Amino acid sequence: MAIATEDLTPLLPESSSVDGHGKELHLKTSSRHLRGLHILSFTFLFVFLAYSAAQNLESSLNSDEDLGTTSLGILYLSFTVCSFIATPFVRRLGSKNSIILGTSGYWLFIASNLFPSWYTMVPASLYLGFTASIIWVGEGTYLTFAARSHAAECNLPEGTVLGNFNGEFWGMFTSTQVIGNLLSLALLKTGTEGKGSGTTLLFIVFLGSMTLGTILGFFLDKQSGTKAGLADQTSDGSHSSVGDLLKATFVPLLDKRMLLLIPLLVYSGLEQAFVWAEFTKYVVSPAIGVSGVGGAMAVFGAADAIFSLLAGRLTTGLLSITLITSGGIIFQAIVLFRLWLNHSFGSGAVDLINLLGMAAFWGLGDGVFNTQINAVLGLLFPHDTEAAFSQLKIWQSGAIAVVFFVSPHITFVAMLAILAVTLFIALVGFLIISLFWEKTVPQRS
């Protein structure tokens, strides 16, 4: 998709010389993109500190008839299906409106946890699958457009700016694991199984946080994202058909680079679902109890946030992305091997250190994948941004759904094997991209 920049043109001087007034306008434009990045980051912080912590607890709090795990499976199955139509929705609504509408699904899902049953959580999960698909495509498009515009206006390397913008966003986003899980650690009593006063208070606090995040979304600048309909018009001014817009979702699949990226996109979903459901249920809970899940996931989130920021700062182009991603793969491979040797831990100090160390290593890898996958999509697919991020969420959410549906029927060791094989294939595919396409990525300076 060609990104229209007509609205930005008047802000730049026509001549090659820039006078004082031109410099002032230039700084205001650049400041606007940075302001949009900060608001976007805080919007997702307040929404997802609630959702991330609640998701970590679903398999433990709503364990009757596997309600929590099944609801998450339905959620991510809906997420996968709806991601096929996310591109036309985001192009019609615009990134800002997509993000605002997207928050409503997360609010409804948290509210359903106050009265957990098949009649409340399943419909909420289905609706959240739809809103999640558009909020994430909207986020990726919004952030990538802002980064590219900031790089062009400030005459900076595009890869570096994409890395910095993704680093800040994902650093803020992954800190939700720290804040949300510390809240759950403080408000949940040891042994609570989902019906205590601590749980009710926790979800009420979560609803308040999500409401604040939704309000912040209204302060996003429309010009930092794609304009609704601008790219969807034909030469005579009429809108493209829905069928044409749907086809745009699949355009990246014709690109060999996307096909090679798919294993990494799949693994990023598998590894997230693994830590949310399998690691918390079979490793953390048996060792330190349900209330201890919040503490372990806070460690995971802290490492995730720190390395998201660090990885973003170190990103300069495809070669650096490959090196950083390979490092994240190595750290997660270490955790997989350690769990394969033994995933049973006691409550002693040594076992606790080992458990929290694995949570930190896993968070390190997740932080790297978050920043680098989004940065590489922005670099490799500059003209099909929404479609590229739709593909990310199709494969990522599909893999997450598979984990939630399949995990009750296979052993923990079998799940580790699936992750290990996928991780190896992802590494090979990514190295091929770096080897054959590194020189084709545009570098602006």
- What is the structure's pLDDT at 260? 93
What is the per-residue pLDDT across 359-377, written as a single tens digit (0 to 9) for each? 999 999 999 998 999 888 8
**CA distances (Å), 348 to each of 3, 41, 185, 221, 352, in order?**
56, 38, 19, 51, 6
pLDDT reading at 92 higher than 80:
yes
- Helix/strand/coil (H, E, C) string of the chain? CCCCCCCCHHHCCCCCCCCHHHHHHHHHHHHHHHHHHHHHHHHHHHHHHHHHHHHHHHHHHCCHHHHHHHHHHHHHHHHHHHHCCHHHHHHHHCHHHHHHHHHHHHHHHHHHCCCCCHHHHHHHHHHHHHHHHHHHHHHHHHHHHHHHHHHHHHCCCHHHHHHHHHHHHHHHHHCHHHHHHHHHHHHCCCCCCCCCHHHHHHHHHHHHHHHHHHHHHCCCCHHHCCCCCHHHECCCCCECCHHHHHHHHHHHHHCHHHHHHHHHHHHHHHHHHHHHHHHHHHHHHHHHCCCHHHHHHHHHHHHHHHHHHHHHHHCCCHHHHHHHHHHHHHHHHHHHHHHHHCCCCCCCHHHHHHHHHHHHHHHHHHHHHHHHHHHHHHHHCCCCHHHHHHHHHHHHHHHHHHHHHHHHHCCHHHHHHHHHHHHHHHHHHHHHHHHHHHHHCCCCC
What is the per-residue pLDDT across 216-229, written as a single tens digit (0 to 9) for each? 999 998 754 444 33
- What is the structure's pLDDT at 41? 95
What is the per-residue pLDDT across 222-267, written as a single tens digit (0 to 9) for each? 754 444 333 333 333 334 555 665 666 677 788 889 999 999 999 9
pLDDT reading at 402 higher than 90:
no
What is the per-residue pLDDT across 15-47, written as a single tens digit (0 to 9) for each? 333 444 445 545 555 678 899 999 999 999 999
Q: How many CA atoms lie within 13 A of 35 on its CB side?
A: 12
Mean pLDDT of 56-61: 74
Mean pLDDT computed over every residue of the chain: 81
Under the banding of pLDDT at 50, 70 and 90, the label for residue 5 is very low
- What is the structure's pLDDT at 422? 95
What is the per-residue pLDDT across 309-340, written as a single tens digit (0 to 9) for each? 899 888 888 888 889 999 999 999 999 999 99
| CA dihedral over 336, 262, 145, 139, signed as positive or negative | negative
Domains (ranges, CATH) in the chain?
24-229+241-438 (1.20.1250.20)
pLDDT: is 3 or 282 the higher one? 282
Identify the weakest region by mean pLDDT among 302-306, 307-311, 435-439. 435-439
Locate 278 and state its tokens. Answer: 């399998």
Q: How many CA atoms lie within 13 A of 72 on its CB side?
A: 30
Which residues are paired to 233 by β-bridges?
239
- What is the structure's pLDDT at 245? 58
Which residues touch 183 (CB under 8 Å, ≥6 apart)? Answer: 49, 53, 202, 205, 206, 294
pLDDT: is 438 or 81 the higher one? 81
Identify the weakest region by mean pLDDT among 95-109, 201-215, 372-386. 372-386
Identify the weakest region by mean pLDDT among 86-100, 251-265, 376-390, 414-428. 376-390
Cβ atoms 121, 113 nearer than 8 A: yes
pLDDT: is 384 or 255 the higher one? 255
Residues above pLDDT 90, as percent of the chain? 33
**CA distances (Å), 122 to each of 71, 132, 291, in order?**
6, 15, 25
* pTM of the full structure: 0.75
What is the per-residue pLDDT across 113-148, written as a single tens digit (0 to 9) for each? 888 889 999 999 999 999 999 999 999 999 999 998
